[in-house]
């Protein structure tokens, strides 16, 4: 029987029924006092005994102590570290269930936050449920006594780093193998890496091998020795505090196959981490752009310019905008393209590029800047294609565009299986289209 006590951070355990999945992959339940509670590692249909670990005026976060009843969509998580690691949040759900709840998450945000009508969107599944990431970032921390831990944040303890080796199921096999070699060969106290308490290590796969990007810490370590000792490592770069990149050792570029292009990346540059679903998404966006022959196109937050170059190749007059120096350099170095790119903030450059016929928006998780929706309403385009990695900011921005642009289609793509993240593409039509 459910206790009738009022929960608190020091109160007794409380029984809760989980009715959904919310942002971040947390199970959602309701406490006896009516307050919403978010519960990691729980599934719809679960009845659990919980304790409150964090409480606010309108919501709380809890921790499951014991399962009274399990929901029908649960499964045993394949990863042996899942109960401790914060890298994933949905491994305890069957993959088909993950897709259902991601669609509901997007649909709920559009209706509740955006004031829009419509059903939950279709979610295109990833070709690979595991081993799909071609880029992954680990955190290395030096502890007192010379001990090294390197991996992901610990579930429920974001200040801690959980030591993770090749048992992680998300990186592509070459990255997983390289991570194990790197751990075995960075030397006592990780002496071949930059000094300091914490260093972030990003591995990126390419046709010839794996590149390493170093962030944080002090100095450069000994990149030449590291390159010589780690089989499969072909390039080492260093990112400074301002975001500038320095090549330290090995190949100066990484050649990455993406759809029909062989891209040359200089240590950084944005590409979707899931090659399979990422290419499905890009093909879809190109289709939604329509016939661009003779039209003016803006590719905002363009990364390395994959979409912009493709649209330029189809006859569009395309200008890309991005703030990332590595992405801009990679875009500029691709041969045989009429695609033009500007390095700068989209909110600073957009007005000078208007009017236009089509804009593709692919902003970071924070969505577009406040100044952008008014500009797009003052200079109405025939078509907008908005690519979003956050349902809440997508809903907010669509609400800002309402009244001028009409939504034609919404489709989501599962770029991040086992996590609470989902990518969504919204196609909007201007009144003159």
The answer to whether residue 192 is domain-embedded is yes
* 296-300/317-322 β-pairing: parallel
Residues 145 and 248 in one domain: yes
Q: Print the domain residue range for 204.
A: 135-252
Residue 131: both structure tokens together = 């081993």
Q: Is 336 left (phi over 0), alpha (psi -120 to 50) or beta?
A: left
pLDDT score recorded for residue 106? 97
Residues 43 and 154 in one domain: no
Q: Which residue has the tokens 């500038």?
A: 244
Q: How far is CA 273 from CA 136, 151, 269, 296, 374, in A?
A: 8, 18, 11, 29, 32
Q: Is 162 left (phi over 0), alpha (psi -120 to 50) or beta?
A: beta
Residues 360 and 321 in one domain: yes
Longest dimension (CA), the chain: 70
Q: Check if the beta carbon of residue 426 is closer than 8 Å to that of residue 285.
A: no
Could you say which residues of the chain have pLDDT below 70?
1-11, 331, 333-337, 432-433
Q: List the CATH number of the domain containing 32.
A: 2.40.50.140
Q: Check if the beta carbon of residue 331 is closer than 8 Å to that of residue 251.
A: no
Question: How many structural domains compose the chain?
Answer: 3
The answer to whether residue 92 is domain-embedded is no
pLDDT tens digits, one per residue of 259-292: 777 777 877 777 889 999 999 999 999 999 999 9
Residues 154 and 181 in one domain: yes
φ, ψ (nearest 5 deg) of residue 20:
-170, 180
The answer to whether residue 258 is domain-embedded is no
Residues 308 and 389 in one domain: yes
The answer to whether residue 51 is domain-embedded is yes
Cross-sheet strand order for the sheet of 340-343 = 122-124, 406-413, 423-429, 383-388, 358-361, 296-300, 317-322, 340-343
Residue 344: both structure tokens together = 């700068």
Q: How does DSSP assign 298-363, residue by residue?
A: EEET-TT-HHHHHHHHTT-EEEEEE--HHHHHHHHT-SS---EEEES-HHHHHHHH-S-SEEEE--
Domain boundary among 196, 218, 252: 252
Residues 215 and 335 in one domain: no
CA dist 67 and 82 (Å) reads 17
pLDDT tens digits, one per residue of 393-419: 999 999 999 999 999 999 999 999 999
pLDDT score recorded for residue 382? 96
CA dist 158 and 155 (Å) reads 7
The answer to whether residue 5 is domain-embedded is no
Reference 358, options 288, 408, 423, 407; nearest CA is 288
Q: Check if the beta carbon of residue 18 is closer than 8 Å to that of residue 44.
A: yes
Reference 155, options 246, 61, 60, 43; nearest CA is 61
The answer to whether residue 325 is domain-embedded is yes
Residues 414 and 316 in one domain: yes
The answer to whether residue 195 is domain-embedded is yes
Residues 48 and 147 in one domain: no
Question: Which 8-state DSSP code applies to residue 387?
Answer: E
Domain boundary among 252, 282, 309: 252
pLDDT tens digits, one per residue of 340-375: 889 999 999 999 999 999 999 999 999 999 999 999
Q: Check if the beta carbon of residue 102 is closer than 8 Å to that of residue 412.
A: yes
CA dist 214 and 219 (Å) reads 10
Residue 392: both structure tokens together = 């809440």
Residue 179: both structure tokens together = 């991570």
Residues 240 and 282 in one domain: no
Percent of the chain topping pLDDT 90: 81
Determine the straight-line distance between the first and last CA of the chain, rounded to whole angstroms.
59
Residue 12: both structure tokens together = 């007794």
CB neighbourhood size of 420 (10 A)? 19
Residue 341: both structure tokens together = 């790119």
Residues 280 and 416 in one domain: yes
Q: How far is CA 432 from CA 59, 159, 428, 429, in A?
A: 44, 52, 12, 8
CA dist 89 and 420 (Å) reads 6
The answer to whether residue 384 is domain-embedded is yes
Residues 240 and 300 in one domain: no
Residues 290 and 406 in one domain: yes
What Rg, from alpha-carbon coordinates, does the chain have?
Answer: 23
- Please give the helix or strand (H or E) that residue 285 lies within, else none: helix 275-289
């Amino acid at each position: 029987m459910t206790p009738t006590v009022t929960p608190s951070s020091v109160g007794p355990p409380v029984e809760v029924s989980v009715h959904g999945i919310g942002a971040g992959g947390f199970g959602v339940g309701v406490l006896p006092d009516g307050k919403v509670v978010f519960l990691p590692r729980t599934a719809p249909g679960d009845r659990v005994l919980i304790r409150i670990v964090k409480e606010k005026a309108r919501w709380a976060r809890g921790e499951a102590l014991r399962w009274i009843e399990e929901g029908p969509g649960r499964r045993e998580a394949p990863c042996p570290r899942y109960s401790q690691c914060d890298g994933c949040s949905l491994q305890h759900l069957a993959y088909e269930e993950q897709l259902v709840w991601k669609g509901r998450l997007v649909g709920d945000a559009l209706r509740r936050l955006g004031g829009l009508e419509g059903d939950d969107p279709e979610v295109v599944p990833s070709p690979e449920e595991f081993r799909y990431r071609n880029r992954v970032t680990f955190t290395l921390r030096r502890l007192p006594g010379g001990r090294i831990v390197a991996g992901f944040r610990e579930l429920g303890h974001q200040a801690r780093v959980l030591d993770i080796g090749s048992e992680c199921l998300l990186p592509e096999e070459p990255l997983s193998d390289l991570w194990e070699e790197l751990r075995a060969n960075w030397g006592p106290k990780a002496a071949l890496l930059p000094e300091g308490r914490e260093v972030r290590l990003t591995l990126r796969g390419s046709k010839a091998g794996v590149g390493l990007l170093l962030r944080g810490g002090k100095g450069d370590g000994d990149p030449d020795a590291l390159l010589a000792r780690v089989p499969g490592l072909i390039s080492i770069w260093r990112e400074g505090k301002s975001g500038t990149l320095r090549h330290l050792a090995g190949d100066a570029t990484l050649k990455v196959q993406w759809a029909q292009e062989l891209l040359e990346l200089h240590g950084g540059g944005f590409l979707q981490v899931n090659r399979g679903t990422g290419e499905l998404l890009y093909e879809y966006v190109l289709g939604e752009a329509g016939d661009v022959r003779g039209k003016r196109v803006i590719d905002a937050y363009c990364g390395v310019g994959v979409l912009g170059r493709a649209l330029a190749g189809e006859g569009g007059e395309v200008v890309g905008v991005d703030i990332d120096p590595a992405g801009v350099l990679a875009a500029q170095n691709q041969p045989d393209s009429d695609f033009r790119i500007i390095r700068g903030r989209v909110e600073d450059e957009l007005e000078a590029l208007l009017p236009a016929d089509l804009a593709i928006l692919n902003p970071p998780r924070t969505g577009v800047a406040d100044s952008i929706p008014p500009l797009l309403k003052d200079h109405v385009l025939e078509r907008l294609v908005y690519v979003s990695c956050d349902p809440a900011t997508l809903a907010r921005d669509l609400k800002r565009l309402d009244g001028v642009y009409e939504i034609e289609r919404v489709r989501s793509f599962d770029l991040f299986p086992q996590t609470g993240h989902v990518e969504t593409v919204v196609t909007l039509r201007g009144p003159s289209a």
